[in-house]
Amino acid sequence: MDLTDYSVILTAYIMASAIKGLTGLGFSTSCLPVLALHFDLKIAIPLVLVPSIVSNITVIVQAGRFREAVSRFWPLYLAAVPGLLFGLAVLATINSDVAKAVLGLVLMIYALWAMTNMTVSLPTKWERALRVPIGFMTGIVNGMTGSQVMPVLPYLLSLNLEKNDFVQAINISFTFSSLVMLLGLNQLGYLTATTFLIALAGLVPVLLTLTVAGRLRRRLTTIVYRRLVLGLLLVMGMILLLRNFL
């Protein structure tokens, strides 16, 4: 890697940490598009995982109600594993540009959905019935693109959980999937010593930025920043998708 590569990584880490601290948006969701514009996804995804795991574990410790979330959603978490393995197998065989286009499409769908503030309430019987398929589909999308938000995020929001219950449930999903992803990428040979060391070193600016952003969050209008971030994700998703056709 050269100086340009390191500059892109540092920029992506700082931007994603600031966004997570200010708006609560997932680290990997905002970091991956920036890295994917410069790197192959097979390089970008390993660079995101270590900082993502650390930031998510921090939130898990803060949120509480860990046992309650695991007891309720363990089928969803376990169903993500075969989906992840399938998604990783697809990632290993498809063209990198196709994977980037899929990531772009996922980001666009997520951004547009979040902008509409759509709320759907699922009855209890559907909540239980959808746990396994939602987990499996989330695993496939995660394995192929590195994005962890679809469709698990809309599903959990539709359950009208208390704030801390929602934060805990989604972060357990992110963390568990990231750990499985880390092992899978290592088996495929994508997690090299270089990328792992870069990701570890990146924890310093990530944690510093998270701390500063957390303090600024009280003074800034989160709604405005959330709209700006979602708009940015929409644009980056369009760029990743359209690059295949230009």
**How does pLDDT run across 203-227, given as a tens digit for each residue?**
999 889 888 887 776 666 656 766 7
Phi, psi for residue 32 in degrees, rounded to 5 = -60, -45
pLDDT digits (tens, 9 = 90+) for 91-133: 888 887 888 788 888 888 888 887 886 666 788 888 899 999 9
pTM of the model: 0.81
Distance from the Cα of residue 214 to its chain's centroid = 19
Please state, in angstroms and rounded to a whole number, the distance separating the CA atoms of residues 246 and 238: 12
Between the two ends of the chain, the Cα-to-Cα distance in Å is 27
Distance from the Cα of residue 114 to its chain's centroid? 15
The whole-angstrom separation of Cα 156 and Cα 45 is 24
> 27 falls in which pLDDT band (50, 70, 90)?
confident
Mean pLDDT, residues 136-144 taken together: 92
Q: For residue 12, what pLDDT band results from cuts at 50, 70 and 90?
A: very high
The predicted-structure confidence for 58-91, as pLDDT tens digits, reads as follows: 778 877 889 999 999 999 999 999 999 999 998 8
Q: Dump pLDDT digits (tens) for 158-191.
A: 888 887 788 889 889 989 998 998 888 888 888 8
